[in-house]
C-alpha cells in the first residue's frame, strides 16, 4: 500500500449496517459509500501494519470495521451532554485514560476534552481494547498495536492548548 498512515476524521454517523444492526438506531445523515470505502481502507492499513488514527466518527468506524458496535443515539441510551457543538473549542468533560496507554499519551497531559457526537462505541470488538472513558462511562478511546481511536476532536482544541497536538504526534511516530 502506498500510504504510510491513515487518519479517519469526524463527520456524519456510521450506518448501523456496518456493525450488523438494521437502520433505526438513532443514526443521522449516514453515508454508506463513505463507510464502505473507509472500512476497507482501514482493514487494508491494519493488514499492512500501517498506523491508523480515528477521530470521533473515525473511532466509531474503526470499531465497526473489526467487529465492534455502536450506541446509535447516546441521549436515547441515557447519556447526556455529549453533543455540545456550541462548545467545540472547549474542554466540556473530564476523561480518564489507562496509565501508559496510547490514549494517555494522546491526551498529552490534558484532563478534559470536547464532545461533539451523539453516537459512541458500545463494544470495541475483539481487536481493540478500550483505554479511556468520560465520567459517565462513555468510551473515549480504543487501541490496538499501531491503531488509536479517540472520541474527542483535538484539532478543535489546539487554539486553547497545544497539548492537543499529541494524537497527531502519536500518528506520526507510529508510521
pLDDT at 143: 98
- Quote the domain boundaries for residue 23: 5-173
* CA–CA gap between residue 53 and residue 69 (Å, rounded): 18
Choose, from 46, 82, 153, 164, the residue flagged as catalytic: 153
3 is catalytic: no
Query: Span 90-119, mean pLDDT?
Result: 94
Give the list of residues 6+ apart from residue 172 with CB closer than 8 angstroms, or none.
5
Give the CATH number, domain containing residue 111.
Answer: 3.40.50.880
Give residue-wise pLDDT tens across range 153-166: 999 999 989 999 99
Bridge partner list, 141: 132, 150
* CA–CA gap between residue 168 and residue 175 (Å, rounded): 11
56 is catalytic: yes
DSSP string over 30-99: --HHHHHHHHHHHHHHHHTT-EEEEETHHHHHHHHHTT-EEES-TGGGT--S-B-GGGTTS--EE-EE-T
Count of domains forming the chain = 1
Contact 103, 166 (CB under 8 A): no
Q: Which three cell numbers stand for residue 104?
A: 494517555
Choose, from 38, 46, 56, 164, the residue flagged as catalytic: 56
Query: Span 118-139, mean pLDDT?
Result: 96
155 is catalytic: yes
Contacts 24+ apart (CB under 8 A), 77-82: 79/120, 79/136, 79/137, 79/138, 80/136, 81/115, 81/136, 82/115, 82/117, 82/118, 82/120, 82/134, 82/138
Average pLDDT score, the chain: 94
Query: Span 7-34, mean pLDDT?
Result: 91
Amino acid at each position: 500500500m502506498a500510504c504510510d498512515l491513515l487518519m479517519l476524521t469526524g463527520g456524519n454517523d456510521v450506518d448501523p449496517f456496518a456493525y450488523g444492526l438494521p437502520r433505526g438506531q438513532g443514526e443521522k445523515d449516514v453515508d454508506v459509500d463513505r463507510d464502505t470505502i473507509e472500512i476497507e481502507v482501514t482493514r487494508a492499513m491494519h493488514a499492512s501494519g500501517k498506523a491508523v488514527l480515528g477521530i470521533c466518527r473515525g473511532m466509531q468506524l474503526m470499531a465497526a470495521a473489526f467487529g465492534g458496535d455502536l450506541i446509535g443515539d447516546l441521549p436515547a441510551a441515557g447519556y447526556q451532554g455529549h453533543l455540545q457543538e456550541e462548545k467545540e473549542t472547549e474542554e466540556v468533560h473530564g476523561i480518564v485514560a489507562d496509565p501508559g496507554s496510547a490514549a494517555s499519551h494522546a491526551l498529552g497531559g490534558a484532563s478534559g476534552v470536547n464532545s461533539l457526537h451523539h453516537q459512541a462505541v458500545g463494544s470495541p470488538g475483539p481487536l481493540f481494547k478500550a483505554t479511556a472513558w468520560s465520567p459517565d462511562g462513555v468510551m473515549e478511546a480504543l487501541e490496538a498495536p499501531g491503531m488509536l481511536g479517540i472520541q474527542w476532536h483535538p484539532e478543535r482544541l489546539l487554539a486553547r492548548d497545544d497539548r492537543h497536538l499529541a494524537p497527531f504526534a502519536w500518528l506520526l511516530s507510529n508510521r
